[in-house]
Amino acid sequence: MRRAVLGVALTVALALPVFSSLGAAEALGPEPAVRTLPNGLRVAVFRDPRLPVVQIQMLLPAGTLQEPATGAGLAALTASLLTRGTTSRTGTALAEEVERIGGTLNANATRDYTTVGGAFLARDFEHALDLLGDVVLNPVFPLEDVERRRAEAVSQVIQSRQSVGGLAEDHLWALAFPGHPYGRPVHGTLASLPDLRRAHVQQFHRETYRPDHALLAIAGDVDPEKAFDAVEAQFGSWAGTARLPARAPVAPNTGVRIRIVDVPGLPVAEVRVGHQGPGRGDADYAGLQLASQVLGGSAASSRLHASVRGAQSGWTWQREASLLTLSALARPESAAVVVERFRAELARLAAAAPADSELVSARRILSNGYRLQFDQLASAPAQWLASAYHGLASARPQSQLDAIDRAEAGPAAGRWLGPAGIAVVVVGPASRVRDGLETIGVVEIVEPSAEPAVVALLPTTDTSTPTPEQEAAGRRAIEQAVTAHGGATRLRGIVDSTVEGDMTLHGPKVDVRGTVKQVRREPYQFYSQVEFDQKRTTQVLNGARAWSLAGARGDSVIDEDSLAVGALRAGFRSDPHHVLLMAADPAARVVLRGREAISGRTLDVVEVTAAGDRHVVLLDPESHRLAGVEQNERALLGTTSVRRLYSDYRTTESIVWPHVEERLINGEKAMTLVTRKVDFNSKVKETLFRHPDGEGTGPAWRR
């Protein structure tokens, strides 16, 4: 009954036309009473006695911006675990208590911050404040819940990569903000999530959930003085100072960066263009909001819609920067045309101020939308929280919008927009999209399983911004390595390869010996067979599909999931000739990071970033041969640092190939491979990679 009462109350609150008969100031909700506690917690109370409901929201600077470089998804994981149990309540008891008083309680992390809040009946205000305080101050993060929630997050990431819109969104942010926390997916990556542990969650909570930067907003049928007293009683003893990183400046994009997420069977391509903008606190905020509305905020009347049917645009505002996104659907062959039209409209908006009639229409649409926000009980505190977090003098940008004219909107667009400095992401079949886009700029092609953002390597290495001299030296070192192994023409001419050898697995007490055979055929056909004690394991990759053969006779077929497909595709690319070609690709960023003593050898350390992945390539400074490669390899149970060290070079068909590989996992020697035979271009048959039940199809893509 209590839940039903609250549901009716909230429904009425959400539907109530608060400005229908009120003045302009009243239409935008009451001004709050604001107070700051001695521990730094800022509190705002919006008294609204029309309904017996209270909304409580807390904002903490605990978002992606505060995560460590290798901890993508940590903020979201921490937020999701707040309600799983406290020092005084189990997760089940907490949920039952919230249910009993008919309320709601949830937490959510964003790129900038985490919010914790809920809605309750006004008579339960103090009880509700106690529940919110308990989950913010006293979560215990039960180990089994951390493991379960982390596994759920991994599954969500895998599922999101089958969504065209999700892929486009993640890759656009990664491309627009390379190397910045904003470029990382909020909910984490397959590289980062498996490594997050309870200790990381506890430390993140301990360092960021502190009162000195926290904000609390309360709205509803509650007396401000009584609310302040209750907040003081609940949070007054909360102590500590948040250990926040220094503000992270965003490096401006100056060129055109293009990425295709290759989905071969997609009939319609998702086209997105992103342009960096200023942070939310910038003086150009209102002018850029109006400019964006003119450009594509309302599809039916916008400039973009007149140029590309169904196209639209919109800003996403963050503390350190913002992103203007232009989007549309198009036939794959027309994707480049859409991008060029988007660039033309950006150039037009940057070159000349919008017409007065366009500004009047844009201002009316934004003003109406802004007022409509205050139909909801939670909107006034949400606006205050955002404004206070961004350091704005007022939570009411209405006056700013009303004051902007052509003389200000035009220069604002001119300062920030233009056809250069953009990120372009197209999700669709690369074979039908690439040619057109290559007329615009250098095109990077990645698979749907690729991480959108560059993930920091676990091995310690210099990751400072490289100098032009370091990049030039890195490029020379790779060119010398390619020559030392037979030259680019011969390496690119390898259509298939077969490697057979002996494998030793090094255990803590005993070594296990067996044999291995690997067959590669371009593109992305990979056959790997390992045999120990007459037990054979076979895995086969054929493009976007993979399976394994098990059983005593190898006659049991197990289809692999997308994670295993990604691992096998990474395995296909891990042999020496693919590593060299990857590093030699003009689209790769190659940086010489100096020299390091590794396993008794002094080697050149070259950092290579290509197709969203980072590798450390190790080269012999005298012979220029590939001495090793180090990278993170992803698996369901975690991300591991894998170092392959090469020796015993021999020449086969004019190609220099290492015949001994020592493999170290997380610094421990795990495997030795001794090659007995190498064949190149032996015309490997297609049938080797054919699924026993037929070719099949790739994953089912959905929007």
pLDDT for residue 553 = 53
pLDDT for residue 254 = 75
Q: What CA–CA distance (Å, rounded) separates 3 from 434?
A: 55
pLDDT for residue 21 = 29
Extract the tokens encoding 17. Answer: 């036309």
pLDDT for residue 473 = 95
Could you tell me which of 39, 336, 362, 63 has the C-alpha nearest to residue 216?
Answer: 39
pLDDT for residue 535 = 81
Q: Is the pLDDT of residue 258 over 80?
A: yes
Please provide the CATH number assigned to the domain covering 256-376+390-446: 3.30.830.10
The pLDDT of 162-176, averaged and rounded, is 92
Residue 71: band (very low, low, confident or very high) from pLDDT cuts 50, 70, 90 = confident
The pLDDT of 286-296, averaged and rounded, is 82
pLDDT for residue 639 = 47
pLDDT tens-digit series, residues 566-611? 778 888 998 999 999 999 999 898 999 888 888 778 899 999 988 6
The pLDDT of 209-229, averaged and rounded, is 95
Extract the tokens encoding 617. Answer: 């390539």
pLDDT for residue 22 = 31
Q: Is the pLDDT of residue 481 over 90?
A: yes
pLDDT for residue 272 = 96
Q: Is the pLDDT of residue 353 over 80?
A: no
89-117: buried (b, 16+ CB within 10 Å) or exposed (e) per residue?
bebeebeebbeebbbbbebebbbbbbbbb
Q: What CA–CA distance (Å, rounded) separates 275 from 417?
A: 7
Lowest mean pLDDT among 214-228, 379-393, 487-501: 379-393
pLDDT for residue 68 = 86
Alpha carbon dihedral 479, 481, 484, 486, in 10-degree steps, equals -70
523 cis-preceded (ω within 30 degrees of 0)? yes
Query: Where in the chain are all domains bearing CATH 2.50.20.10?
Result: 468-689
Tell me the percentage of the chain whose pLDDT exceeds 90. 52
Q: Contact, 116 vs 55, CB < 8 A? A: no
pLDDT for residue 463 = 55
pLDDT for residue 27 = 41
pLDDT for residue 7 = 44
Lowest mean pLDDT among 173-182, 220-229, 505-514: 505-514
Q: Which residues contact 615 (CB under 8 A, 6 or more apart)?
A: 579, 582, 583, 607, 608, 609, 629, 630, 631
pLDDT tens-digit series, residues 420-440? 789 999 999 999 999 999 999
Return mean pLDDT, the chain. Answer: 84
Q: Contact, 277 vs 324, CB < 8 A? A: yes
Sign of CA dihedral 462, 465, 467, 468: positive
Extract the tokens encoding 365. Answer: 């649409």
Name the maximum alpha-carbon separation found in the chain: 87
Q: What CA–CA distance (Å, rounded) separates 424 from 427?
A: 10
Spacing of C-alpha 12 from chain mean position: 37
Third-level CATH fold of 468-689: outer membrane lipoprotein receptor (LolB), chain A (2.50.20)
Q: Is the pLDDT of residue 177 over 70?
A: yes
Most confident of the ranges 176-190, 237-251, 410-424, 632-646 = 176-190
**Options 3.40.140.10, 3.40.50.300, 3.30.830.10, 3.30.70.141; CATH of 30-141+185-235:** 3.30.830.10
pLDDT for residue 405 = 60
Residue 561: band (very low, low, confident or very high) from pLDDT cuts 50, 70, 90 = confident
Q: What CA–CA distance (Å, rounded) separates 74 from 109?
A: 9
| More confidently predicted of 96 and 615 | 96
The label of the residue with tokens 């010398």 reads 480
Residue 15: band (very low, low, confident or very high) from pLDDT cuts 50, 70, 90 = very low
Sign of CA dihedral 330, 331, 332, 335: negative
Sign of CA dihedral 676, 679, 682, 687: positive
Q: Contact, 403 vs 327, CB < 8 A? A: no
Tell me the percentage of the chain whose pLDDT exceeds 70. 84
The pLDDT of 669-687, averaged and rounded, is 93
Q: Is the pLDDT of residue 552 over 80?
A: no
Q: What CA–CA distance (Å, rounded) separates 325 from 270?
A: 13
The pLDDT of 296-310, averaged and rounded, is 76
Q: Contact, 544 vs 559, CB < 8 A? A: no
Residue at 162: amino acid letter: Q
Q: Which residues contact 508 (CB under 8 A, 6 or more apart)?
A: none
3-state secondary structure at position 454: coil
Q: Contact, 339 vs 304, CB < 8 A? A: no
Q: Is the pLDDT of residue 695 over 70?
A: no
pLDDT for residue 563 = 66
Lowest mean pLDDT among 12-26, 136-150, 375-389, 416-430: 12-26
3-state secondary structure at position 281: coil
3-state secondary structure at position 85: strand
| More confidently predicted of 266 and 411 | 266
Query: Where in the chain are all domains bearing CATH 3.30.830.10?
Result: 30-141+185-235, 256-376+390-446
